[in-house]
Structure 1
Amino acid sequence: MSADVLGRWVPDRPVDVAAVFAKADFPWWIAGGYAIELAVGRELRAHGDLDVLVLRRDQALVRELLADWDLYVADPPGRGELRPWRSGDVLQPPLHDIWCRRTPEAPWSVQLMLDEAEDTQWVSRRDPAVRLPIDQFGRTTAMGIPYLAPEVQLFYKAKATRDKDETDFEAVLPLLDTPARAWLADAIKVIAPGHHWLRQLLPVSRT
């Protein structure tokens, strides 16, 4: 869904989101292009929105945390149709994309994404064969801001790469160690076995 479908977007900064989520008693991570920038430690490009990922099993907790916000779920996902996400409304798959703004008059500022988990494992909603221990799912900046591990964020971007995704890949690739490259290559082979990123990842991945 494009960021200009239903109203104006003025994305928060990661530090703004960290202030909002400071009292969260559940895991959360900055996602999307901002996650790549937090990994490389510099700005790479302009952003149309800011993504925050939480586990679906924690949706009631994040709904309570954002009780004063104006929240809408994309239903169905990717169609440009929104409906209010009301307190007590449990979102089941495939619903996973929530637009967030502080008031009905404010611009959209955060895109909340729900993802799956089983016990201590993150499970990709795109293919349950792609998994990772939750304690390896993210990183944390020196300022204490959690963000998706770069290899996980690149996996999300690999489905349908755009110019900005290529920019992110080239910027963060040198930071990926051998295990991270191997995991990413194996994960991409599940969803896109002919992906051109594999040529740069396979020399140091498992064969």
Structure 2
Amino acid sequence: MRTDLDNWMPISVTEINNIFAEIPISWCIAGGWALDLHLGKQTREHSDIDVVIYRYEQQVLYQSLKENWVLYKAQNGKLIPWEAGEFLTSINDVWVSRNTDAPWSFQIMIVNSENNEWIYRREKSIKGAKNKLFLRTNDGIPYIKPEVQLLYKAGSSEIREKDFKDFQNILPHLVLEEREWLKSSLKTQFADGHNWIGYL
């Protein structure tokens, strides 16, 4: 078990792409980096880097990474080694380092899906076509659509200052359809309202 949650030395977007491009699964960059990729520029420092995969492809990922990386499942505020052959049914977050003492290099976010749709775990009625969850940069690097990433940032138990800044940076670049989807999703998750809805 590891407890050094702040011990980060994230690898770059290019390094992530080089690693994951060799793995036969669907994946994309998520988090603040996804929003910066959408804008085509870096807007702030990033203390970590996130990658989204689908739950049903987790074993392919594990087998592809296990030789060069150590994988930990995040469970109840603790980081516990992910054992070979273990299928993560409810854990949504995996942290990865080069060895048991090395800083964290990247984080894997596991998304549920059913048939051809991805499912938002905090409000399962919010879903969308799997083949429309990702966009790509001009260099072909996949990243999660900005309105979906903003939903994840807005829908957590605590909205951090950096998440609101990310929202402010992206908002002028959202087209009407993206704004309307995010507004509708926030209204679905938060029946009593959400303070981002007014901005949308």
Shorter chain as normaliser: what TM range?
over 0.9
Q: Identical aligned pairs, as a percentage?
A: 37
Q: Distance in 2 between matches of 1:195 and 1:29?
A: 27
Q: Following the alignment from structure 1 to structure 2, what is the Cα–Cα distance between the partners of residues 50 and 40?
A: 17
Look up the equivalent residue of 1:31 and give its one-letter code: A
Partner of 1:124: 120
1:173-199: CA deviation from partner (whole Å, max 9, x where unpaired): 122111111111111112224111111
Q: Pairwise CA RMSD of aligned residues?
A: 1.3
Name the residue aligned to 1:32: 31
TM-score, length basis structure 2: 0.92
Question: Distance in 2 between the 1:28 and 1:82 partners?
Answer: 22
Q: Which runs of 5+ in 2 are unaligned?
A: none
In the alignment of these two chains, the number of paired residues is: 194
Which structure 1 segments of 5+ residues have no match? 202-207
Cross-structure match for 1:205: none
Q: Measure how far apart 1:167 and its partner are.
A: 1.1
Shift of the alpha carbon at 1:105?
3.1
Distance (Å, rounded) in 2 between the aligned partners of 1:75 and 1:197: 29
Show the 5 A alignment for 1:25-174: 25-68=24-67, 69-76=69-76, 79=77, 81-93=78-90, 95-159=91-155, 160-174=158-172
Deviations along 1:122-158, one digit per CA (max 9) or x if unpaired, are 1011111110111111110111110000000000000
| Residue type of the alignment partner of 1:110 | F
Residues 195-206 of structure 1 aligned to structure 2 (within 5 Å): 195-201=194-200
TM-score by length of 1: 0.89
